[in-house]
Structure 1
Amino acid sequence: MAFISKLKQGFGSTFSFFADCWAEMKKVKWPARKELISYTIVVVSTVIFVTVYFAILDLGISELLKIAFE
């Protein structure tokens, strides 16, 4: 019986955890559609910028290494 008691205790704390998570999620102020679109545009443009920057940097370093070791 001690095992079943421990098992109930373990699942009780798991259910309690998810109940607490749900209560916290209700407190979150979710962005409006317009805000979400603008945030998405900022993130995507930043990712594109950083990708292009590192691609150019990589190509430059590759060319320098080709010149140096040929």
Structure 2
Amino acid sequence: MNTKFEAGINIAIKIPKNKYEKTVAFYRDILKLKVEEMPIKNPTVSRTHEVKFGNNIIWLDCVDNYTHSETWL
């Protein structure tokens, strides 16, 4: 069996609510990347921002019940 793993274009960073604004500001103000808030209807994510990163999209997801950040590939 030949299995081939390929990456998708989306990377999600789950960020605790108390660190969310500073994280968004870092990507927008320090890294100077295009950051845009997007509408979301998800029971576990209260806000999300899309960050264009080359051919990839980083999703900055605000999660109210997390104590630390996680990166989902």
What is the TM-score when the length of structure 2 is the normalising length? Answer: 0.23
Larger radius of gyration: 1
**If each structure's strand is expressed as a fraction of its own residues, which one has the higher value?**
2
Q: Which has the higher contact order (CA 8 A, sep 6+)?
A: 2
**If each structure's helix is expressed as a fraction of its own residues, which one has the higher value?**
1
